[in-house]
Every structure is written in structure tokens, then in C-alpha cells.
Chain A
Amino acid sequence: MLIKILGRRLAQAVFVAWAVGTLTFFLMNLLPGDFAYRIAAGRYGYDYVNQAAADAVRAELGLDRSVWLQYLDWFRDLLRFNLGDSLVSGNPVSQELAHQLGHSLQLALFASLLSLLIAVPLGLYAGRQVGSALDRASLFISVLLRAQPVFVIGLVLVLIFALQFQLLPVAGFGGSRYLILPALSLALSMAALSSRMIRNATHQVLGSSYYQFARFKGLSEQQAFTHHAQPNIALPVVAFIGIQAVSLIEGIVMIESLFSWPGIGHALAHAIFGRDVPMIQGAALVMGLLFVLINLLVDLCCYWLDPRQREEGLQ
């Protein structure tokens, strides 16, 4: 069973690598405008771009070759685990990404922890007290937050905490103070959904026959909750976190751009403006793989939590 999970995710990773790269490559080629001009502008600044500079870039990078040839080039390099060089900076893409990945992971991890810190107590409480004022208030706020794109949440937080009260920096990268606002924006957006999910799972488990039976067996409320409710609540919630990985990654792109956080999302946005195709492909690839990795971890967690899966594997 474990082998099956790993195998499935490995196959998915290979597919994601190919699909993401291919899709971004052709989508970029559909964009209007001359690549060589944009890249030259990225290298030398808009004021210094002229036909000669653009032609030089075109010749250097082989942009006059057919699209298919360029694609095959990229694909051959991918098979050798070579992501190519940035068209703008000239550095290897892998080197740039390795640098940025650390920052992104830091943000993602911190945001996820923060979102669980908000969602778990809130969801558990609302699930125990369904229909209470707090439950209804959390539903209202959750809908309100989910109705916004994550950068609006970020902007509002900047307006309040950075501009109004001047407690935290508006944007940028430095000490841990710079991490708080971007992580909090992402966390709020995720917690809005996961807290409701936890609330529903809690409500369902506490109303289940087996929870009632646990009480009838003589277990106290606390004991029944610890032993019979928690694992059963955790299972669907952990599975949901895997699904939420999509919105985490999507949120990273927007939030990093908004807060000028030097991670992969920020790099991706810049690479798109600069038509830096290898960087775009590389960044999208890493994000796709990150998604697969998160889901692998979730699978392993569920496998560990759910004896039904383990037993099936043994037989």
C-alpha cells in the first residue's frame, strides 16, 4: 500500500513536470509582442533597448528558431534535469530557484502553521457549539474572507497594521517582522475554509453513534473526545489540507508579489513580465512539484492515521 502511494505520487510528479512545462511554454508563445525586445529590456533597461540590442538577444538565444525546436530543446534539457539559464540574468534557473525556494517554503510553512493555529481551536469550538453566536460569527467571517482574493486581505492588513498603526513594515524582506503580514494574509484565507471543515468534521463525529457509544461505555467526555473523536476528526481534515495546497500555492504567487517577498511566486510574476521562459517553466515546475509533495505528505499522514488502509496493505 505504501509502495502504491509512493508510486502513484511519483508518476504524478513526472506528469506534472511535463505538463506544467509544456503548458507554460506554449501559453507564453501565444502572448503578443516581440520576445527579444522584452528580454533586452529586462537586461539593459527600457531606455537602452533598440533594434540592434533586440537582434543581438535574438541571435544569442536562438529565438528565431521554430517554436517546436525551442520546445524540444527545453524538453531534452529537462530529461537531463537541466532547467536551462535565465534569459534575463544569465544564471542557471536551478540556482535562482534554489535561492528563492527557501524563502517561499519559509512563507508557506509559517502561513500553514498560523492557519492551523487559527482554524483548529476555532473549528473545534464551533463544532462543539453548533448554532452558537461564535459558530455563526465564524461562518460570516469565513464567507467574507473567502469572497476576497487573497491580495485584498493582504492590502487590508497593510492598511491597518502598516499604514494606520505603523506596527509592521509594508513590504520587503528582512527580519521576522517582515514575515508576519504576508503569512497572516495567507493564513486567514486558508483558515476561512479549513476552520469550517474542522467544524463540520467535529460536529459529525460528536453526533455519531460511536461517540455516543463511547460515552455509554463509561468514558468521560474528555476521554471519549481524546480517544474516539480526535482521530476521526483528524482524518478528513488532513485530507482536506492536501486539497488546500492548491490555494496555498496560488496564494503564494499573489502574496509574494504584493509584499515583494523574494520567493518563487515573486520570481514567477517577474519572469512573466520579462518573457523569461526558462524561469517561468522552472518556477511553475517547482510549484507543481511542491503540490505533489504536499499531497504525498498528506497521503502518508492519512495512511498512518487510518488502520483500514494499513490492514488492506498487509493482506
Chain B
Amino acid sequence: MSKPVVEVFKLSVFAGDSCLVSSLSLALKRGEAVTILGETGSGKSLLAQAIMGALPKELTASGDVRLFGKLNPSRHEREQMWGQQVAMLPQEPWLSLDPLMKSQRQLSLVEELVKQLDAKRARQQAQGSLSAMGLADDGNKVPSQLSGGMAQRLAYLCATAGGADVLIADEPTKGLDDSRKQQVIGLLQQHKQHGALLTITHDIDVAQALGGEIIVMRQGQIVERGSAEDVLNTPRSDYAKALIAAHSQDHFPIALKQGNAPLLKVRSLSKQRGNKQLFHDLSFQMGEGEVLGVAGDSGAGKSTLVDIVLGLTECDQGQVERAPELGPGKMLKLYQDPPAAFPREISLGQSLEDLCQLHKLDRSQLPELLARLRLDEAILARRPSAVSGGELQRFAMLRALLMKPKLLVADEPTSRLDPIVAHQTLELLIEQTRKIGCALILVSHNRRVMNQLCHQIVDLSPLEDTQRVPVDFSSACLIK
């Protein structure tokens, strides 16, 4: 057996007195994978930063890190290893690439500066790597012109161009839809064959595909660890069980009542942004209690489409016909990031009170709604920052439902929530909108959930990434 290249002994990370990661140990060898699995915000990313030696200044770490046999290398020594021995695949590839530099240049710079090739060889090398990743024609694009999947592949190339053995991937599939996710998993599996891989994720699919050792973390504590097979098939801790259950748990679609007049008719809608055709000749209609899914990559125009439906943005061509029931205050939107949808300095109760006054709403239905959404009345006294993400999203739902909307648009309502909470929240959303006969438009990355829940799905992703066929950008409206 080869010696471990990365060893971590009893690593803890503190912010002042509070412990964010507690006493974590692991060893990583060439050809092996270790996966840290846990909810968002459980301190997983801090581990990666602690190994790299790039913890934010206000955090302190204790314990030992041994890199390539060197115990607790200094900051300077670690910087020497960056790129050449230890590489890090960042969370949000779009934000991690230089927004002003063309893809090929971003890559050839690493060849030139880190591997010290001359400019011409560096360019050839970079072009070769891009081609191998199916990015041959994208060398002249800047990151804003790349799709999420393409950006992640470019980030992978840049991260590993320096020749590092050890790859630390921090939530590498965050925000990617299923097909892109599979591509990234493929990259990581490939890397594992010749190097060592430490992956940090909340996605069971990723953990399953990579195998090796799994460490389940919750709130900075190790809940459970073992081989991927053991942990995923026979989890012992309650948390791991719940996490895995939430992942494979199915939603059940609700039968659609027939014969209702449609609330919304969309006819041959087209919209262009910049020089990109977002969608063309798109038509659909939906009625009471119906769930419509909108799928596609970030930047594919999902939000633009729902904004057009809500009348917040103009379309280039086509028309949106809304039934008279969809008057003011009857079409509402649920936002992706719940804290961004509430005033920070005002208690939730006050926010609600203002809403009731403005629209002369009946407050008597409040206790019942609170109970139905499993919210405690005590949270009304708190500010948004003192409430968990899941609770806040449920409260946002309550605020919307109080208005008795006829059309509710939920823009990635669960993507910032961890899998267990996400599942519950979505179930509640479906149940409650159904109860008041409200049509629901669900914008999401998660194709599996949408296939289960939606009566019809509008798919806005062009096929360019999965199959490299000439792109016609036409969006198919798939009716299940």
C-alpha cells in the first residue's frame, strides 16, 4: 500500500469560541477517494480550506495536517504545493474563472506560468486539453458565455493543469442539473484513477459514484463513517438514514381534475437576451391545481420565462393570456433564497401584519396556516436571520398562501435547503397550493423531482452540452 498523501489528525476549526468542525481525522491515498457528505452549512468546506491553508482570517484551526509527508507545512510551503501537488476544484465555477479572460488563455496561462512552457507550447497544450474535454470551439469564449457544465470542465482543467495529484472538490455539482452532474462525476472518477480525491458534497449520487470512504458530517461533527457501500446501504446513524431516505424518497404526483377552464395560456412566446435566443415559439397552457415544471441550466432563461408569465418582463413575440381570476395579488412568486425575500430588520410577525393591513386580509386563518405549514407561532417574534432556512422558506409560503393566489411561481424553492428539509418543504408546497386550487410553476434543476411532480415540463436547455450537435436553440415543450 502506498503512503497517504494527505493526512488530517483531529482537525477542529473555531470561530471565536464556537466550534465549526470538531476533531476530524482522515487519510487520503493515491487512487482512493474520500467523500465528506453532509448538509449545506455544516462546516464541510472549512475542511478543504484548512487543508489548503486558506482559512478565512477570523477562523482558527487546531490539530495537524500532513501533506506529502510534511507535518503542518507553513503557509508559504503550502502555497508552493498549490496547483502542482494539491488542487482545488471550486464551488461555483462561474465565479472562480476570470470574467474578463478567454477560456483558452486562462488555461494556457497555467501551462506557461506553472509548468513554465513557452507561450506557443502552452497554447497548443491548452487547446489539446480543451478539445479532450469537448471544449475545442469554446477557447475564445469568456466565462459568461459558457454553460455551467462547460465552466465546471474548464475550471477542472485549470485546477489540474499544474499537475496536482491531490484534488479537493468542494461541492462540485452544486447548481448543475442531472446531465451536467454526471459529466462532473465522470471527471472526478477519472481523476481518482491516477490521483487522490477528496470530495465535499451533499449529493448522495456523487458519493455513491465515487465510492471509497464516506464521512457523514452534521454541524461540524462526524456522525458516521465507513466504506461507501456500508454507509449508503446500511446506514447506522439516524441522520445518515434520513439523508439517504430523503434522497431516494419519491414524490407522488396529484391527479389532475379535468374540465377546468385554463387559467393561463401562453402562445408562441419568443425572447432573446443579448444575441442569445432563450426560447422560441413556446406554447403551453395550465389550469387550476396544475403543476408545471420549468427545467434548464442557470442562464437558460428559466427566470425570464416565469417573469414574462407574471408580467414582470416583456417578451419579444407571442402572447400570454391570463384568466380574469389572475388579478392583482393573485400571481405570486416564491424566491430561491428565502432571506433575500424578507426585510432584515423587521420581525416576521410585523412583516405579516403589514401585509394584512395593506391587503385587508383575514387574520383568523393565520393559526391554521401556521399549523399546516408546521411553523411555531413563536417565530413571529423573530427576525429572518434568527430562523432556519427551511422555516423561512415555509414562512415565505405562508405569506404567499395568505393572499390566496391563483398562480404561484416557485423559483428553485428548495435548492438552498438540505435534502431532508427540501423534501418536506416541497411536499408541503404541493399540498397547500392544491388545497386552494392554485396553479404552480416549479422552476428547478432537479429533473427527478420534476418528473415525479409536474404535469408538464418546459425544457429550456439547449442540447449543446450533452450532445455536440449544431445548436438550434429551439426549446421543446415536453408533455408527459
Contacts and interface: CB of A to CB of B under 8 A. Distances in A.
User: SS class of chain B's interface: helix, strand, loop or mixed?
Assistant: loop
B158 A217 contact: yes
B100 A231 contact: yes
Nearest to B87: A216
Contact of A218 (B52, B101, B162): B162
Interface in B90-127: 90-92, 95-102, 109-110, 113-114
A47 B171 CA distance: 85
User: SS class of chain A's interface: helix, strand, loop or mixed?
Assistant: helix
Among A210, A217, A223, residue most surrounded by chain B Cβ atoms (within 10 Å)? A217
Nearest to B163: A218
Contacts of A215: 54, 79, 82
B66 to A, nearest CB: 20
Contact of A213 (B96, B142, B274): B96
B102 A219 contact: no
Contact of A212 (B54, B140, B141, B164): B54
A214 B158 CA distance: 9
A305 interface: yes
A249 B111 CA distance: 47
B126 to A, nearest CB: 13
Interface string B127-150: 000000000000011101100000
A245 to B, nearest CB: 24
A307 interface: yes
A231 B99 CA distance: 10
Contact of B100 (A220, A223, A306, A312): A306
Contact of A216 (B88, B101, B109, B141): B88
A9 to B, nearest CB: 21
Interface residues of A, number: 25
Nearest to B141: A311
A241 B296 CA distance: 40
Contact of B102 (A208, A223, A307): A307
Contacts of A315: 274-275
A227 interface: yes
Interface in A285-310: 305-308
A219 B142 CA distance: 20
Contacts, number: 91
A160 to B, nearest CB: 41
Given A213-B97, A227-B109, A218 B114 contact: yes
B155 interface: yes
B109 A209 contact: no
B98 A232 contact: yes
B82 to A, nearest CB: 5
B83 A219 contact: yes
Given A215-B82, A219-B113, A209 B90 contact: yes
Contacts of B140: 311
Contacts of B98: 210, 214, 227-228, 231-232
Interface string A224-251: 0001100110010000000000000000
Contacts of A210: 95-99
A217 B95 contact: no
Contact of A228 (B52, B88, B101): B101
A217 B100 contact: no
A293 B155 CA distance: 40
A311 B95 CA distance: 19
A223 B92 contact: no
Interface in A82-134: none
A311 B90 CA distance: 26
A213 B101 contact: no
A232 B99 contact: yes
Contacts of B142: 307-308, 311
Interface in B289-348: none
B109 A219 contact: yes
Given A215-B79, A307-B142, A312 B158 contact: no
Contacts of B232: none
Contact of B162 (A217, A305, A312): A217
B102 to A, nearest CB: 6
B110 A308 contact: no
Contacts of B158: 213, 217
3 pairs of A and B residues whose beta carbons are closest in the complex: A218-B83, A218-B162, A218-B114
29 contacts: A208-B95, A209-B96, A210-B95, A212-B54, A213-B88, A213-B96, A216-B87, A216-B88, A216-B90, A216-B159, A217-B83, A217-B87, A217-B114, A217-B162, A218-B82, A218-B110, A218-B161, A218-B164, A219-B109, A219-B113, A220-B113, A227-B113, A232-B98, A305-B100, A308-B99, A308-B100, A308-B145, A312-B274, A315-B275
